[in-house]
Structure 1
Amino acid sequence: MVDVSSITYGPRRATLLTDDGVRIEAVYEPSTASVTDTAVVVAHGFTGSVDRPAVRRASRVLAERAAVVTFSFRGHGRSGGHSTVGDREVLDVAAAVRWARALGHARVVTVGFSMGGSVVLRHAALYAAEREEHVEREGGHVEREEHVGRVGAHTDAVAAVSAPARWYYRGTPSMRRVHWLITRPAGRLVGRYGLGTRIHHQDWDPVPLSPVEAVPLIAPTPVLIVHGDRDPYFPVDHPRMLAAAGPSELWLERGMGHAENAVDDELLRRLGDWLTRA
């Protein structure tokens, strides 16, 4: 289900309905480059949203290379539901990818930051079989259809920026604060009223596929792992573990911190080049 609230030649906003019935706010930004059949779906980090300045900046820079879809994960911004901190968020990515294909893009790729990075890796793994069936059925050509429920949710390439490799990591002060925010009632109140993020109170059951377990299942879809050597949340053993888990490319960025707030325009342009050519 897609409710497009503004049909214009510029950016358009929509409400997407996920497979489990959660309403997700999303924004489509046409490419400022020459005509391209690629759309990039951007998945923000925990406590982010579609209207955060870092997300809007990433969208504007990536739009130099391709059309861009941004959205707010469940429990974030104006989206419904509660955050499951990386579990059911794969359904949010799937809804955004379907929308991009419904808008006429033959090739749709994903890039995620921090929690969003873990989600796009899991999404690529969980929808990999659909991609292979689609390619075999269409002989490599993606049929363009108008109804979002009838088009594919698979990605054609995936980039994870500042993503964790494994769950329950508490090895840095930053991640210990995140765990307090997620697991304690007082922390969830801070998340809701201080950070605009509604966090689900229930523990994972079952524990979802971890990012490092997902990577080997993604091939032959191209995978890029990007990480800063000054990340205060996840040290460099995380990206190295992800890159070693399956076919992928690894960029270790000197002096870079964490996620979308730390990614400069030059790196965003390199990401856009990789995503449009991979």
Structure 2
Amino acid sequence: MRSEEEGRFHILDVSSLTSVHRPMTRRAMLRTEDGVRIEAVYEPCMTGATGTAVVLAHGFTGAVDRPAVRRAARILAERAAVVTFSFRGHGGSGGRSTVGDREVLDLSAAVRWARELGHPRVATVGFSMGGSVVLRHAALERGTGGRTDAVASVSAPARWYYRGTAPMRRVHWLVTRPAGRLVGRYGFGTRIERRPWDPVPLPPVRAVPLIAPTPLLIVHGDRDAYFPLDHPRALAAAGDAELWLERGMGHAENAADGELLARLRDWLLRA
């Protein structure tokens, strides 16, 4: 799972867009620089505004058509265009999940698609694994066509290999054990790469100092069962970031209620 040379990305099949859900919503298959096909959905802003597009990055075992992702997209689309997509190894995308490493390539392909569709300003919001990916993407894509104009990271880890909670010990079993990867494939619809990272990708906490001057928001619930509060505090302390600690919130997109999603949307629009 190499994280080096995360360079330019290419769009595939944009001409085969089809209408779904409501008029003007579009589906496409995107191709990353390393050749993985990524399913993506574009939803225009409900008010007709064409300026900002928000690209939403889901958590591990999520996908573009999961209810929590669709709910978040609907709320974001009230004031911004929205691109959602399935990371590699998830949903209808190809490849295998590298659990946050090569997924930076997937996000960059989605950001570039948003710009191809005419949006001069593109913001990213990611949840859990997606939260770590938006941080690394913002650090690695500065000054390129895949850059982002504002970043919100929700329920993300600060460091790799964390096993301090029971849910994270289960995630590590899912990722590192053959039996766990079978459960991931047939129980969660997630195909997981069996090879370990080589080299280990840039940790989120080391990515944060590289993001400025892009506006950065760190969001975390005080009832997150996966990552305790030292993770968001470490991320926020590592660079120029705003920190929201949400009372009563659990983990990632499944725990983000409509009020929080609306606040996230409004922050991304004004940042």
TM-score of the pair, normalised by structure 1 = 0.91
**Alignment correspondent of 2:45:** 31
The amino acid that maps onto 2:222 is: D
Deviation at 1:3, TM superposition (A): 1.3
Q: Does 1:123 align with 2:137?
A: yes
Deviations 1:73-120 (A, max 9, x none): 000000000000000000000000000000000000100000000000
**Alignment correspondent of 1:164:** 157
Measure, in 1, the Cα distance between the counterparts of 2:203 and 2:59.
16
- Matched residue SS, 2:234: helix
Deviations 1:224-245 (A, max 9, x none): 0000000000001000000000
**Alignment correspondent of 1:256:** 249
**Alignment correspondent of 2:8:** none
Deviations 1:209-235 (A, max 9, x none): 000000000000000000000000000
**Alignment correspondent of 1:3:** 13
**Alignment correspondent of 1:185:** 178
- Matched residue SS, 1:59: helix
- Matched residue SS, 1:128: coil
My pick for the range that moved more, 1-10 or 52-61, is 1-10
| 1:93 pairs with one of 97, 101, 107 | 107
Measure, in 2, the Cα distance between the counterparts of 1:104 and 1:83.
30
Deviation at 1:35, TM superposition (A): 1.6
**Equivalence map 1:4-83=2 (5 Å):** 4=14, 5-8=16-19, 9-83=23-97
**Alignment correspondent of 2:198:** 205
Measure, in 1, the Cα distance between the counterparts of 2:82 and 2:168.
30
- Matched residue SS, 1:2: coil
Residue pair 1:87, 1:119 contacting (<8 A) in 2 also:
yes
Q: Does 1:268 align with 2:261?
A: yes
Deviation at 1:34, TM superposition (A): 4.3
Q: How many percent of aligned residue pairs carry the same amino acid?
A: 78
Deviation at 1:10, TM superposition (A): 2.3
| 2:219 pairs with one of 223, 226, 233 | 226
Q: Does 1:105 align with 2:105?
A: no
- Matched residue SS, 2:104: helix
Deviation at 1:2, TM superposition (A): 2.7
Cα RMSD after superposing both structures? 0.9
Greater than 3 Å deviation, 4+ residue runs = 4-9
Measure, in 1, the Cα distance between the counterparts of 2:13 and 2:45.
21
Measure, in 2, the Cα distance between the counterparts of 1:62 and 1:253.
19
TM-score of the pair, normalised by structure 2 = 0.93
- Structure 2 runs not aligned, ≥5 long: 1-10
Residue pair 2:49, 2:79 contacting (<8 A) in 1 also:
no
The amino acid that maps onto 1:63 is: A
The amino acid that maps onto 2:12 is: V
Residue pair 1:2, 1:99 contacting (<8 A) in 2 also:
no
- Matched residue SS, 1:109: strand
The amino acid that maps onto 1:18 is: T
- Matched residue SS, 1:95: helix
Residue pair 1:28, 1:68 contacting (<8 A) in 2 also:
yes
The amino acid that maps onto 1:227 is: H
